[in-house]
Structure 1
Amino acid sequence: MKICIERSDRMGDMILTLPVIQAIKEENPQAKIHIVASKKNLKICKLFSLIDKIHERSPSSSAFNKLIKSIGVENFDYYFAFSPGWYGLFLGLFSKSKSKISLINQSRYKSNFLSKFWQIALSKIFFSHSNVINRYKLLQKKENIHQTNIMMEVVSKSGIKISKNTKPEVIFLNKFTLKNENPICIIHLSSKWINQYYLEDNFLELLNILKNKNLSIYLTTDETTKNKFTKIFNTYTVFDNADYFHNNKEQIAICNNFDFENWTSLINQADYVITPESGCTHIASLTSCKLCIIYDSDNFPKNIMHEYAPWKKEYLALETNDKQLNQKLLNFV
Structure 2
Amino acid sequence: MENSKICIIRNDKIGDVLLTCPMMHTIKENWPSAHITVIVNELTYPIVKRVSSVDEVIVDYRQQFRVSNLVLVKKVADELKKQEFDHIFFAYMDPLYIVAAALANIKNRIGDGNNLILSRFITKKVSISWHDFTKHEIEQQIRLLEPFSDEPLSIASPEFMFDDDLKNDVKALLDSDAIENGYIVIHPSYGEGNRGWPAQEYANLIDLIQTRTSLRVVVTGSDKEKDIVDVIFEQTETKPINLVSKTTIDQLLGLIKESQCVIGAETGPTHMATLCKRPVISISPTKYTKPFRWGPFGTNHVVIKDNESCDLICHTYKKNCQEDYCLKNIKIEHVFSAVNFIINQEKFPKNQLYYWFKTSATVAILIEDLSDDNALEATINLLKQENIRWFLCTSKQSIKETLSGVYDNIFLANEYNLKKWVMQFSVSDVTVIHALSKPNRLWIESIKKLVALKLDREPVVVEDSSTFTNIKDLLDCYLSQTKELSMTSK
Which TM-score bucket, shorter chain as reference? 0.7 to 0.9
- The farther-off stretch of 165-174 and 12-21 is 165-174
1:127 aligns with 2:122: yes
> C-alpha deviations, 1:181-213, integer Å up to 9, x for none?
323111012156xx9894332232222322322
Separation (CA, whole Å) in 1 of partners of 2:116 and 2:211:
55
The verdict on how the C-alpha distance between 1:227 and 1:63 changes in structure 2, with shifts beyond 3 A counting, is farther
Secondary structure, counterpart of 2:303 in structure 1: strand
- The farther-off stretch of 126-135 and 21-30 is 126-135
Which of the residues 313, 329, 332 maps onto 2:335?
Answer: 329
Q: Aligned pairs, how many?
A: 298
1:166 aligns with 2:160: no
Partner of 1:186: 185
TM-score by length of 1: 0.79
Partner of 1:245: none
- Contact residue 4 and residue 34 of structure 1 kept, 8 A: yes
> Structure 2: 5+ residue runs without aligned partners?
306-325, 340-490
Separation (CA, whole Å) in 1 of partners of 2:243 and 2:207:
18
Separation (CA, whole Å) in 2 of partners of 1:21 and 1:161:
18
Separation (CA, whole Å) in 1 of partners of 2:270 and 2:90:
24
Separation (CA, whole Å) in 2 of partners of 1:282 and 1:166:
15
Q: 1:162: Cα distance to partner? A: 7.8
Secondary structure, counterpart of 1:211 in structure 2: helix
The verdict on how the C-alpha distance between 1:215 and 1:163 changes in structure 2, with shifts beyond 3 A counting, is same
Separation (CA, whole Å) in 2 of partners of 1:198 and 1:224:
16
Partner of 1:95: 104
Separation (CA, whole Å) in 1 of partners of 2:83 and 2:55:
12
Separation (CA, whole Å) in 2 of partners of 1:63 and 1:233:
46
The verdict on how the C-alpha distance between 1:19 and 1:90 changes in structure 2, with shifts beyond 3 A counting, is same
In the TM superposition, structure 1's runs of 4+ consecutive aligned residues that sit over 6 Å from their partners are none
Secondary structure, counterpart of 2:127 in structure 1: strand
Partner of 1:241: none
> C-alpha deviations, 1:244-275, integer Å up to 9, x for none?
xxxxxx75121120222332232222111101
The verdict on how the C-alpha distance between 1:273 and 1:163 changes in structure 2, with shifts beyond 3 A counting, is same
- Contact residue 109 and residue 122 of structure 2 kept, 8 A: yes
Which letter does structure 1 place at the counterpart of 2:332?
A: N
Partner of 1:243: none
Separation (CA, whole Å) in 2 of partners of 1:236 and 1:169:
36
Which letter does structure 1 place at the counterpart of 2:46?
A: K
Which of the residues 31, 34, 46 maps onto 1:28?
Answer: 31
1:44 aligns with 2:47: yes
Partner of 1:202: 201
The verdict on how the C-alpha distance between 1:104 and 1:273 changes in structure 2, with shifts beyond 3 A counting, is farther
Which letter does structure 1 place at the counterpart of 2:215?
A: L
The verdict on how the C-alpha distance between 1:90 and 1:233 changes in structure 2, with shifts beyond 3 A counting, is farther
Partner of 2:315: none
- Contact residue 205 and residue 332 of structure 2 kept, 8 A: yes
Q: 1:26: Cα distance to partner? A: 1.4
Which of the residues 151, 154, 158 maps onto 2:141?
Answer: 151
Partner of 1:262: 251
Q: 1:63: Cα distance to partner? A: 5.6
> C-alpha deviations, 1:268-310, integer Å up to 9, x for none?
2211110111111111123243211111314x233xx112233
Q: 1:20: Cα distance to partner? A: 1.3
Which letter does structure 2 place at the counterpart of 1:181?
A: E
Higher helix share: 2
Separation (CA, whole Å) in 2 of partners of 1:260 and 1:95:
33
Partner of 2:302: 316
Secondary structure, counterpart of 1:181 in structure 2: helix
> C-alpha deviations, 1:113-164, integer Å up to 9, x for none?
xxx4423xxx23x32122232423x34xxxx332221222221224588841
> C-alpha deviations, 1:13-49, integer Å up to 9, x for none?
2222221111111121111111111123211111112
> C-alpha deviations, 1:192-244, integer Å up to 9, x for none?
6xx9894332232222322322221111112321123332244569xxxxxxx
Partner of 1:228: 228
- Contact residue 157 and residue 275 of structure 2 kept, 8 A: no
Separation (CA, whole Å) in 2 of partners of 1:84 and 1:223:
29
- Contact residue 203 and residue 232 of structure 2 kept, 8 A: yes
Separation (CA, whole Å) in 1 of partners of 2:33 and 2:102:
26
Separation (CA, whole Å) in 2 of partners of 1:269 and 1:211:
18
- Superposition RMSD in Å: 2.9
Partner of 1:306: 292
The structure with more radius of gyration: 2
1:75 aligns with 2:84: yes
Percent sequence identity over aligned pairs: 21
1:176 aligns with 2:182: no
> Structure 1: 5+ residue runs without aligned partners?
106-115, 238-249
Higher RCO, Cα 8 Å, sep 6+: 1
Partner of 1:252: 240
Q: 1:330: Cα distance to partner? A: 0.9
1:54 aligns with 2:57: yes
Higher strand share: 1
Which of the residues 95, 118, 142 maps onto 1:86?
Answer: 95
